[in-house]
Amino acid sequence: MRLVVIGNGMVGQRFIEALAARDVDRRWSVTVLAEENRRAYDRVRLSAWFEGVSAEELTLAPLGVPAGVDLRLGEPATEVDREARVVHTAAGTYPYDVLVLATGSRPFVPPVPGTDRPGCFVYRTLDDLAALRAYAAGRTTGTVVGGGLLGLEAANALRLLGLRTSVVEFAPHLMPMQVDQGGGGMLRRRIEELDIAVHCGTGVTGVTDHDGRLRVSTATDLTLDTDLVVFAAGVRPRDELARAAGLPLGERGGVLVDDTCRTADERVYAIGEVAAVDGRCYGLVAPGYAMADVVVDRLLDGDARFGGADTSTKLKLLGVDVGSFGATTGPLDVVYADPASGIYAKLVLTDDARTLLGGILVGDVSAYPALRSAVGGPVPGKLADFLSAGAPAVTLSGSAQVCSCNAVSKDQVLAAIGGGCADVGCLKACTRAGTTCGSCVPLLRTLLDEAGVAQSRALCEHFEHSRQELFDLIRIRGIGTFSELVAGYGTGRGCDICKPAVASILASLGNGHVLDGEQAALQDTNDHFLANIQRDGTYSVVPRIPGGEITPDRLIVIGEVARDFGLYTKITGGQRIDLFGARVEQLPAIWRRLVDAGFESGHAYGKALRTVKSCVGSAWCRYGVQDSVGLAVALELRYRGLRSPHKIKAAVSGCARECAEARGKDFGVIATETGWNLYVGGNGGFRPRHAELFRSDLDTEELIRTIDRYLMYYIRTADRLQRTSAWLEAMDGGLEHLRAVVVDDSLGICADLDAAMERHIGSYADEWRAVLDDPEKLRRFVSFVNEPGTPDPSISFAVERNQPVPAGGPVALGLPAVRR
């Protein structure tokens, strides 16, 4: 029998593969009419093309089409004649016994003037992306219309193309279809930290030419001057063929189908985004795959029905993990938000708090598998654990879905492992899990680990090596740049995982200033300007105050700087003074005043030593038994500028009363009657952990030698963004192994660790002063590259408690603009 499939997107490809696998008797002769000139490819990972993934790597049919399938690339259907049961194209006619519509959707472009001007793009196909990249060459700014999944993907693409990017979203918050106001707000904070401006609650009213560029106008009188515009404001079903053929459509578009995916014509089915099941179109790939499987079963005399779809999603957008599952609103909402860590969690429960209905996770989605599989039943553990401390250890049931895109359960994955699969690639090939959006790949690795299968510790897709292995390669081979490293030991052009990690390694090995040459392009946002970017686009300045000790003269200087530059001042938890509200062009002038007074960078912006907190110790306190301030100052000056996998915090307490809270730090020192006790592996923040006693009653010389080795061993062996607490927890042998290495020299590396610390101390230079002494580096500290002295007019302040605070309005772009 003759089967014609119109469309060769992800769902259409899934359909023909599933049919080929099950139609062993070749009952169906299949013709596929494809609009594009290339075979089906992974649209979910479309943006990976900008990260160096080739079109061939994105293809869903690397080995070609299944046997018995006639794939007609670049031959779109132009008409469906249901009476004659024929599909017409520009090249010919194709009769059918059954027709499957898999035409997908088209980008929605707001019906406003100017959207067809040169420089306006949509974000749907590889051809769209190629045209976008070609146009973006040599340009500096871009605007994305749409703040949903596709819009944020497009924003990342513009960012990867080197454009200063703005996002305009009609809804009051980002990703309105997946998350609520709180989750959208947290997502916005995280995205703004990447120098992407976000404007929510306004719609585009037109695009006009302005001084050789484009001007985007909005309903709230906000105007954005930009070089190009990408419309990614959602999709609409490609139902024009069905409409012309007289098939009934849904109220909001899409071909009406029943739960067998059959249209009003018994010989015509519709699957994927063009199908409106009970009037609803699904914009996710997982429901489309489920529909494809239903139609395959029906064509082979089965009785499958589409019973609705799980619209749960877990993905990473611009480096931010986002997950939503089940209901996102309900009788009882329990919410946890930690703005400092960028974490938001909301669980939706029945009014008796006994049944989980759904939830939203932003920033930390480690609880997603356990929570998603528990929807409809009780929370699998203590509610507070899931909200405030990531995912507790929970064993997933065998029926729990591991991959929602392809409906793969834990039992199916374990069966594949039992059948010989020993890596993620094999699991993908065997079960399809992880082959679509890829968000379940970490869980696949976890299941392999639980099954006793050793896994790769590759840093990212561009390097097969772990961070520790890359550290050793760079150190031993004397590699000085990222380009040299990726050319010799990696692939592609790098990503936002490996570039900052390598930048940290290079910095920790003393490879020059972080803003020298190529290194500048590797840095995270804050390191770009040696200051912490804030929500309104200003920066905070944190001078080092070793041990929290400061003279009156220096205290006066900080006050005068804050007064003269109109800065907000705040005492931090690490016994420092934070100065907020500095515009980027003000930073060098502020640093100059501070440096001239003897201050230096406190590295609040970097993954480095932050502070060594202290109490007043024996100098003043009647309980003090040692000079905690003196030791804290010595340690902070010794380890200042020490770059590491994550930030390092420390403290010294002068007696057992522990006023400096040393046991909540990466390393903490507590005075005893005869010396010092050293504690390691603690931290506060999102997942607090007490440090463990490592050595007791040390004299100062032995204490410092032990800390030297501890820190250097951590820097050499920890994973990317791994705090010392997590590093110690993951270490085979734990504290005993650490003690054997850094005290007993079981690996024979202590002399090397000592020498590495001495090299760091000997090569230390203040990063602020180095910028002030280098005119080339100073040039980056402007709001507008063509008007260096002009302040950003979007930054404004209000006054609260006699101090300046952000007044709202457009948020940080972070990188210099061109003022028009």
On the question of pLDDT at 103 being above 50, the answer is yes
Residues 6+ apart with CB under 8 A from 608: 641, 642, 643, 644, 647, 648
Residue with tokens 């649209």: 43
CA distance 684 to 665: 7
On the question of pLDDT at 100 being above 60, the answer is yes
CA distance 683 to 663: 8
Residue 799 confidence (pLDDT): 87
CA distance 504 to 524: 10
On the question of pLDDT at 389 being above 70, the answer is no
Structure tokens at 600: 């230096």
Element (H, E) at 519: helix 519-522
Residues 6+ apart with CB under 8 A from 271: 11, 12, 15, 100, 101, 102, 261, 288, 291, 292, 294, 295
Reported as a pLDDT band with limits 50, 70 and 90, residue 705 is very high
CA distance 233 to 15: 28
Greater confidence (795 vs 291) lies with 291
Residue 798 confidence (pLDDT): 86
Reported as a pLDDT band with limits 50, 70 and 90, residue 810 is very low
DSSP secondary structure code for residue 645 in this structure = S
State pLDDT tens for residues 242-296: 999 999 999 889 999 999 999 999 999 999 999 999 888 988 888 999 999 999 9
Q: Interhelix angle for 700-717 vs 734-742, to 10°? A: 110
Greater confidence (242 vs 375) lies with 242
Q: How far from the centroid of its chain's Cα atoms is residue 529's Cα?
A: 21
Buried b (16+ CB within 10 A) or exposed e, 128-150: bbeebeebbeebbbbbbbbbbbb
Greater confidence (590 vs 513) lies with 590
Number of continuous H segments (helices) and E segments (strands) in the chain: 26, 39
State pLDDT tens for residues 738-750: 999 999 999 999 9
Q: Which amino acid is at 633?
A: V
State pLDDT tens for residues 514-539: 888 788 778 776 887 888 888 677 88
Q: Which segments of 300-440 does DSSP mark as H helices, in order?
A: 368-373, 383-388, 410-418, 424-431
Q: Is 195 left (phi over 0), alpha (psi -120 to 50) or beta?
A: left
CA distance 471 to 469: 5
Dihedral of the CA atoms 403, 404, 409, 413 (nearest 10)? -20
Structure tokens at 670: 């507590």
Q: Which amino acid is at 454?
A: A
Reported as a pLDDT band with limits 50, 70 and 90, residue 809 is very low
Residue 651 confidence (pLDDT): 96
Structure tokens at 816: 């210099």
Reported as a pLDDT band with limits 50, 70 and 90, residue 443 is confident
Structure tokens at 288: 């489309």
Can you tell me the mean pLDDT for 138-166? Answer: 90
CA distance 665 to 689: 8
- What 129-133 contacts at long range (C-beta under 8 Å, 24+ apart), as own/partner pairs, is 129/46, 129/49, 129/50, 129/157, 132/157, 132/161, 132/228, 132/230, 133/50, 133/161
Beta strands 196-200 and 164-169 are parallel
Nearest one of 312, 199, 337, 244 to 808, comparing CA atoms = 199
Can you tell me the mean pLDDT for 119-143? Answer: 93
Residue 676 confidence (pLDDT): 96
On the question of pLDDT at 467 being above 80, the answer is yes
Structure tokens at 303: 């009785």
Whether the Cβ atoms of residue 7 and residue 101 lie closer than 8 Å to each other = yes
Beta strands in 615-656 (DSSP E): 648-653
Reported as a pLDDT band with limits 50, 70 and 90, residue 161 is confident
Buried b (16+ CB within 10 A) or exposed e, 711-722: bbbbbbbbbbeb
Reported as a pLDDT band with limits 50, 70 and 90, residue 559 is very high
Beta strands in 463-574 (DSSP E): 532-533, 539-541, 568-571
Residue 392 confidence (pLDDT): 54
Residues 6+ apart with CB under 8 A from 247: 82, 255, 256, 263, 264, 265, 268
Nearest one of 489, 513, 590, 578 to 776, comparing CA atoms = 513
On the question of pLDDT at 811 being above 60, the answer is no
Reported as a pLDDT band with limits 50, 70 and 90, residue 493 is confident
Can you tell me the mean pLDDT for 706-725? Answer: 94
Q: Which amino acid is at 539?
A: Y
Can you tell me the mean pLDDT for 326-350? Answer: 85
Residue 784 confidence (pLDDT): 64
pLDDT above 90 coverage of the chain, percent: 54
Bridge partner list, 213: 210
Q: Interhelix angle for 552-565 vs 587-596, to 10°? A: 160
CA distance 137 to 120: 15
Question: What DSSP string runs through 253-271?
Answer: SSEEE-TT-B-SSTTEEE-
CA distance 716 to 673: 34
How deeply is 40 buried, as exposed, middle or buried, from its count of CB atoms within 10 A (0-12, 13-18, 19+)? buried
CA distance 710 to 753: 9
CA distance 152 to 132: 16
Reported as a pLDDT band with limits 50, 70 and 90, residue 438 is low
Question: What DSSP string runs through 646-683?
Answer: S-EEEEEESSTT-TT-GGGSSEEEEE-SSSEEEEES-B
Reported as a pLDDT band with limits 50, 70 and 90, residue 806 is confident
Structure tokens at 518: 């190529």
How deeply is 685 buried, as exposed, middle or buried, from its count of CB atoms within 10 A (0-12, 13-18, 19+)? middle
Structure tokens at 228: 């190009």
Residue 395 confidence (pLDDT): 64
State pLDDT tens for residues 654-695: 998 999 999 999 999 999 999 999 999 998 765 678 899 999
Beta strands 223-226 and 213-218 are antiparallel
State pLDDT tens for residues 409-423: 888 999 998 888 887
On the question of pLDDT at 814 being above 80, the answer is no
Can you tell me the mean pLDDT for 542-551? Answer: 93
CA distance 98 to 125: 28
Can you tell me the mean pLDDT for 36-50? Answer: 86
State pLDDT tens for residues 54-80: 888 888 876 677 888 999 999 999 999
Structure tokens at 463: 């390097």
Domains parsed from the chain with CATH numbers: 2-106+237-299 (3.50.50.60), 120-233 (3.50.50.60), 467-523 (no CATH), 609-765 (3.30.413.10)
pLDDT above 70 coverage of the chain, percent: 94
Residue 433 confidence (pLDDT): 84
